[in-house]
């Protein structure tokens, strides 16, 4: 769990996009993970994944 949080934060920090885009991606990717009940949304390297 801690590793996932660390990776999520690192992806958010290093992803090259405007802040609003990163927030939208993070929300979208986390909703996708919640719907599929999986640990990964399939968009490796994006915020929220």
Per-residue CA distances from 29 to 40, 46 (Å): 8, 8
pLDDT in tens, the chain (49 residues): 678 788 878 888 999 999 999 999 889 988 988 888 887 777 777 887 7
pTM value? 0.75
Q: What is the pLDDT of residue 1?
A: 64
Q: What is the pLDDT of residue 38?
A: 83
Is residue 7 within 8 A of residue 41, CB to CB? The reply is: no
If you count them, how many residues does the chain have?
49
Is residue 25 within 8 A of residue 48, CB to CB? The reply is: yes
Q: What is the residue extent of each domain of the chain?
A: 2-36
């Amino acid at each position: 769990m801690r590793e996932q949080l660390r990776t999520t934060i690192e992806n958010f920090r290093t992803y090259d996009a405007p802040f609003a885009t990163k927030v939208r991606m993070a929300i979208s990717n986390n909703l996708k993970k919640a719907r599929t009940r999986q640990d990964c949304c399939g968009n490796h390297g994006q915020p929220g994944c």
